[in-house]
Structure 1
Amino acid sequence: MKQLLIKNGTIIDVENGVSFIGSIEIEENKIKRIIKQSDVLPKGIETIDAKGKYIIPGLIDMHCHINERFAPHFVASGVTTIRNTAGNVLLLKNLIEKPDDAPIPRIYASDRMIDGTPGQWGPTSYGALVTDDPEEARKEVRRQVEVGAKFVKLYGWIKRDVMVAAVDEAKKYNLEVAIDLVNSKDLTALDAAECGVTWIEHASGFAHEMYKGWNLFVDQEEWHHIDWENPDQEKIKELCEKMLAYNVKLCPTMVIYDQSIKYPEFWSPKNMVIESASKINYIMDYWNQQAEHVDSIKKYNAKTHNLQKAVAKIYYDMGGTVVAGTDTPGLLYTYPGMVLHRELELFVEIGFTEIEALQAATINAAKSINLTDIGTLQEGKMADLVILSNNPLENIKHIQEIELIVKGG
């Protein structure tokens, strides 16, 4: 029987926002006991002394696109679970079926996205179904259920009647539906919410609703009166109020735009995970290709970045669900696993407290997709935890100072 004791550490209770010194007894893949400082510790099992260290639950990246080649980089960054937002469940089967203690994150995955013609990523493929036929969308949802998709992902060129059909079919199987409206030409965030879509990825589609007729493909000069640098707070609050009525959940992925906007001075601390990721040729080739178009990316994709940040904070303050994700490895230098640390820095920069930022990548993330066995350090929960050198509640940057990671015991 696999047993482990981590003693004398400062345990951060993300559910209640408090911390205390104690020990964690692990048996097999679960936390067996949380032991208070004054209690007697078990003897005869492997022990790690975490005196002066801080223990948090394993982190959760709520929006990324995993690949077998860089899967270990997530766990090496303290990210023990990921939500894969579009890809192919069958291609990920080998990763999904790994045991709890494998050095790759556990995966909560959607299957290929459902998009409208002509398809933002080209015609129908292993990663996308492109259709304007509602019945074909229903058939695709049923196929995705059969292969084990945990939720359904829609894309921004989908037609409204196709979206309605996909959502209706998904509900029959208790599957949530997510949508990316960044490049939408017609649909808005409110349209999606009204049709029953639960997840708005990238906090997208808000600008489309606030400024009807605007999208990234129209002549931007006609919309020069919009002050993108200083988003209209009242307009955002009005829209957030409407979105809250539908219990919509947001994953803003601020970091993907932040990395592009800051290029070439993007976030890239020196550590072994980033150094390793930078040696993966195909991922570096992709980022370098993107860098050739950085002016266009800055001009278009980053246009609504400040609006996106404002939406995330206002929606959270109004009681909405806002969780942390990265869209790794999209756009520029979104280092697998490690860039979630930068996303949490951005949460703090826009006004979240350290504990609120940490909750967005632990307990609130787990609750948002009804995963009850991860996200906190509690008896009976999965033994996923990260031991840090310094207190992340004093400075969120301390989550980068990793001493040790435990996954699945």
Structure 2
Amino acid sequence: MIFTIISFSVLGQTSFSKETQSYILHQKGIYVLQNLTIIDGLGVQPKTNQDILINGEIIEAVGIDLPIPENATVINMQGKSAIPGMVMLHEHLFYPKATPGGFGVNQMSYSFPKLYLAGGVTTMRTAGSIMPQADVNLKKFIMNGETPGPKMDVTSPHLDREGTGILELGPFTSTEQAVKMVDFYIEMGVTSIKVYNFISKIDLKAIVDAAHKKGVKVTGHLCSITYREAADIGIDNLEHGFFASSDFIIDKESDACEPFKQYNSVRKLPVDSKKMTDLINHLVNKKVALTSTINVFEPYTNREIVPGGGIDALYPEAKEKVYKRWASKQGKDSLDYVIFNKSKKWEKAFYDAGGLLVAGTDPTYDGRIIAGYANMRLLELFVEMNFTIPEAIKICTLNGAKYLEQDATIGSIEKNKIADIVILNDDISKDIKAIRSIEMVFRNGVAYESKKLFKAANGLVGIR
């Protein structure tokens, strides 16, 4: 299967709005960043005393004591470190709210792009849009310099049949209608398709065929269809690690979504189950990518209220709600810990078996997961999962770029790649918590001030 390669760089902006300029530390130019410790995204050991030569939006050279070109600006970064801009594949531009149906979302077109960029994300896939037209427009605004944010792979709304219960989603009623929705959203400008809980295998086959025909990949947060069935049909990506797998329900009814049975089947599955090993091997053989959103399932007891920090980004009512839920769960989430700890091992096993493990934060559910802050926390959790620091960074950078078929241009700090680089005040090669010391984020050769971007969103998450 050959997919269309989407070039983000050809849309590079030529000018910036006054607002965007206010967050820029260094405009596009010729820079030599000297004396950095670099973890380059390739999964190899850190390199010390490194220089990076940036010319426009391209990394022209990486090495020790690089020659300084005429007219270059030299920036001494002794004691600082650098990683590639993160490429995250399960992000959203909305935040949860209460609705008559029980669950709904508000679009975060102002705060979330800033937070993602501040947190080191230079490319993101929305992995399910509620307002796809807004996301497509926002993608253009960012690339035109009208507002700061990451480059975007915009995903369709969650394609599903009746049953999801999210007020903003419109279910399809026939397979033929589902195919029309695929064509409609691709024509609108989305570059990925997402399927959801209550579809049938016939629906999925038709959606995958329609999307692949137009060079677009399909990902899914499944329930009614097992991971094995979806892999055999030809899905490209599965979301939420193994949390959403219904493969282990005894006597599972075909095309039926039974959330309670699904959850219990995964919770009760032995961590060393041969059934899980067989499923992992099947997914690897079918070349199906797996997106970890492990941070969404991080327990509450003795953990941060908002993983990665950032509670002050929430508007007051949301802050109070998130705090109350966190406090109520202290000492009462032992079952959460059981499945959380198993899932960490299963995702590591998938990676070790040669699977393409990618990453995202999914800022939904109870409002505890916040764009940008959660992305930094996710790196810390990968190290908690016994990945090395270089492996954790590779999962959040180059692996995402490989899935998007953009690894020739983004995902690592290498000669001739786009200058998407995160500069940290502390040495991340020694402590993954240095990810919280982001000073600036180069996106397409332009450096944005992280602290200023974070500050701009304070008190706004949940509002706009």
TM-score category (smaller protein): 0.7 to 0.9
For residues 48 and 32 of structure 1, the distance between their equivalents in structure 2, rounded to whole angstroms, comes to: 16
**1:92 is paired with a residue of what secondary structure?**
helix
Q: Which amino acid aligns with 1:21?
A: N
| 151, 162, 178: which one aligns with 1:117 | 162
For residues 56 and 326 of structure 1, the distance between their equivalents in structure 2, rounded to whole angstroms, comes to: 19
For residues 266 and 358 of structure 2, the distance between their equivalents in structure 1, rounded to whole angstroms, comes to: 31
- Which residue of 2 is the match for residue 339 of structure 1? 374
| 269, 277, 282: which one aligns with 1:242 | 282
Matched, 1:99 2:162: no
Change (3 A) 1:137 1:78: same
Q: Deviations along 1:295-349, whole A, 9 cap, x unmatched?
A: 9x96998874344323211111110011121102443421211212221222122
**1:406 is paired with a residue of what secondary structure?**
strand
Change (3 A) 1:4 1:345: same
- Which residue of 1 is the match for residue 409 of structure 2? 373
- Which residue of 2 is the match for residue 145 of structure 1? 186
Deviation at 1:291, TM superposition (A): 5.9
Matched, 1:324 2:362: no
| 209, 227, 237: which one aligns with 1:199 | 237
**1:387 is paired with a residue of what secondary structure?**
strand
**2:415 is paired with a residue of what secondary structure?**
coil
For residues 178 and 321 of structure 2, the distance between their equivalents in structure 1, rounded to whole angstroms, comes to: 31
Q: Is the 2:33–2:53 contact (alpha carbons within 8 Å) kept by the matching residues of 1? A: yes
Q: Is the 2:132–2:154 contact (alpha carbons within 8 Å) kept by the matching residues of 1? A: yes
**How do 1:273-288 residues align onto structure 2 when only pairs under 5 Å count?**
274=310, 276-278=312-314, 280=315, 284=319, 287=322
Q: Deviations along 1:133-189, whole A, 9 cap, x unmatched?
A: 1111111111111011111100011122111111111110121111102xx2x3211
Q: CA RMSD in A?
A: 3.0
Change (3 A) 1:334 1:213: farther
**How do 1:125-274 residues align onto structure 2 when only pairs under 5 Å count?**
125=168, 128-181=169-222, 184=223, 186-204=224-242, 207-213=245-251, 215-218=258-261, 227=268, 231-258=271-298, 261-262=299-300, 265-266=303-304, 268=306, 274=310
Gaps of 5+ in 2: 1-27, 94-107, 253-257, 446-464
Deviates more, 1:109-118 or 1:7-16: 7-16
Change (3 A) 1:191 1:347: same
Matched, 1:391 2:412: no
Matched, 1:31 2:70: no
Deviation at 1:381, TM superposition (A): 1.8
Deviation at 1:205, TM superposition (A): 6.3
| 115, 120, 124: which one aligns with 1:73 | 115
Q: Is the 1:348–1:357 contact (alpha carbons within 8 Å) kept by the matching residues of 2? A: yes
Deviation at 1:90, TM superposition (A): 1.0
Identity %: 26
**2:268 is paired with a residue of what secondary structure?**
coil
- Which residue of 2 is the match for residue 108 of structure 1? 153
Q: Is the 2:90–2:361 contact (alpha carbons within 8 Å) kept by the matching residues of 1? A: yes
- Which residue of 1 is the match for residue 439 of structure 2? 403
Change (3 A) 1:327 1:219: closer
**1:140 is paired with a residue of what secondary structure?**
helix
- Which residue of 2 is the match for residue 62 of structure 1? 89
Gaps of 5+ in 1: none
Q: Which amino acid aligns with 2:296?
A: I
Q: Deviations along 1:216-247, whole A, 9 cap, x unmatched?
A: 33498xx699636x524322111111222211
For residues 214 and 266 of structure 2, the distance between their equivalents in structure 1, rounded to whole angstroms, comes to: 45
Matched, 1:89 2:132: yes
Q: Deviations along 1:225-279, whole A, 9 cap, x unmatched?
A: 9636x52432211111122221111112010110xx21574354786xx25523x
Q: Which amino acid aligns with 1:406?
A: F
Q: Which has the higher contact order (CA 8 A, sep 6+)?
A: 2
Deviation at 1:374, TM superposition (A): 1.4
Deviation at 1:402, TM superposition (A): 1.8
Q: Which amino acid aligns with 2:217?
A: E
**2:427 is paired with a residue of what secondary structure?**
coil
Q: Which amino acid aligns with 1:137?
A: A
For residues 219 and 330 of structure 1, the distance between their equivalents in structure 2, rounded to whole angstroms, comes to: 18
Q: Is the 1:187–1:205 contact (alpha carbons within 8 Å) kept by the matching residues of 2? A: no
**1:48 is paired with a residue of what secondary structure?**
strand
**1:130 is paired with a residue of what secondary structure?**
coil
**How do 1:299-310 residues align onto structure 2 when only pairs under 5 Å count?**
304-310=339-345
**1:357 is paired with a residue of what secondary structure?**
helix
**1:64 is paired with a residue of what secondary structure?**
coil
Deviation at 1:393, TM superposition (A): 2.8
Q: Is the 2:301–2:333 contact (alpha carbons within 8 Å) kept by the matching residues of 1? A: no
Q: Is the 1:216–1:300 contact (alpha carbons within 8 Å) kept by the matching residues of 2? A: no
**2:31 is paired with a residue of what secondary structure?**
strand
Change (3 A) 1:81 1:293: farther
For residues 317 and 307 of structure 2, the distance between their equivalents in structure 1, rounded to whole angstroms, comes to: 21
Q: Which amino acid aligns with 2:128?
A: A
TM-score, with length taken from structure 2:
0.76
Change (3 A) 1:281 1:65: farther
> Aligned pairs, how many?
392
For residues 267 and 420 of structure 2, the distance between their equivalents in structure 1, rounded to whole angstroms, comes to: 45
- Which residue of 1 is the match for residue 20 of structure 2? none
